[in-house]
A = this chain, B = another copy of it.
Amino acid sequence: MASLTAQRSRYMQIAQTLLSEIQGGAYPVDTLLPPETELSVQFGVSRFTMREAIGQLVRMGIVSRQAGVGTTVLRTRTAHVFRQVIDRLDDLQHYTAETQLRVLNRSVEEIRDPVIAACLGATPGQLWLQLDCVRRAGDPDLAPICHTRLYLHPAFRSLGGLGGHARRPVFSLIEEQFGERIVEVRQHLSASAMPRRQAGLLGVPAGSAALVVERLYINQRNEAIELAISTHPGSRYQHSQTFRRDY
């Protein structure tokens, strides 16, 4: 990554120092950094310079800021060697633009699976919007590309625009209809045996290889607001990405 080694500027030096202190345990994950004004006094710089330094950590994903709250430590490391995903969203856009989501079932209820509930930070009694969908390429006669199970935060359970022709990512519908802002996506890919139900919907044998893509969408407050679990027949889907080294 753009290691903070070339620190000719004040704010870069301070960013490096703060990062070291965070990694040294001075500010544990999920706690707040001191206010900008206090830090600027500590380091003997103006608030502007202090903000630039913290801005570096924000860009690295180490901390997040929120007006009225403070600067929260998210993680202690950014172990990435390569950065900058080329055409990542373009791919996604193409993908969603040329396919359409069809909702098979829509319900508003508690999340039964305790693992998923924990992952979403759902508390007992919260009613989340849950959708069962299949995604098809243009031709509705062809077998679907994948099955997708969606979990949406109660605040967005009135989400509309899903009626058959949703050609845009669900997270962008949320952003548009509720003014929510997604700042982070966590993606997990794994291979597993195709479950019986999905096998039936997708027209492949139960137990055949399936690529499962889980995407967790996080807002500015570091809250999970959407989880999508997509199951693809291994024979029909490949996940491609290109990474470039950050100069």
Contact = CB atoms under 8 A, between A and B. Distances in A.
B93 A87 contact: no
Contact of A85 (B60, B179, B181, B240): B60
Q: How many copies does the complex hold?
A: 2
A42 interface: no
Interface residues of A, number: 53
A90 interface: yes
Contacts of A240: 186-189
B191 A209 contact: yes
Nearest to A59: B246
B84 A243 contact: yes
A190 interface: yes
Given A80-B88, A186-B241, A187-B243, 14 more contacts: A61-B85, A79-B88, A79-B90, A80-B89, A82-B185, A83-B85, A88-B243, A90-B188, A184-B244, A186-B240, A190-B238, A191-B209, A191-B212, A192-B235
